């Protein structure tokens, strides 16, 4: 029999809520990426990435395009449309 005291209960609930918020945020990001990729007939070639002022010499649009498209496949969210 497991007895949980009040301070532990509050801490556990807070950790669960924090974890659920992370999962929710990840799902929102994946849906946004899926919608972005749905705009293109072939996102592997056509996807445009806006870098703004922070594009350094290490960023390569072709590699970044590959990572974004692969992320959707690896996470199992093949082109979400909602």
Copy the structure tokens of residue 67: 């990572």
- The tens digit of pLDDT for each residue in 13-47 reads 999 999 999 999 988 988 888 888 889 999 888 98
Section 9-14 average pLDDT: 89
Residue with the bigger pLDDT between 22 and 75: it is: 22
Rounded distance between C-alpha atoms, residue 45 and residue 62, angstroms: 8
| Entry pTM | 0.65
Strongest mean pLDDT among 30-34, 40-44, 49-53, 71-75: 40-44
Helix, strand or coil for residue 25?
helix
54 Rama class: left (phi>0) / alpha (psi -120 to 50) / beta = alpha
């Amino acid at each position: 029999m497991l007895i949980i005291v009040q301070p532990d209960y509050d801490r556990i609930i807070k950790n669960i809520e924090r974890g659920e918020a992370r999962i929710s945020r990840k799902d929102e990001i994946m849906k946004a990426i899926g919608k972005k990729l749905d705009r293109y007939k072939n996102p592997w070639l056509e996807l445009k990435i806006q870098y703004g002022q922070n594009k350094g010499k290490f960023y390569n649009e072709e590699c970044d395009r590959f990572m974004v498209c692969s992320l959707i496949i690896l996470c199992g969210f093949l082109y979400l449309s909602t």
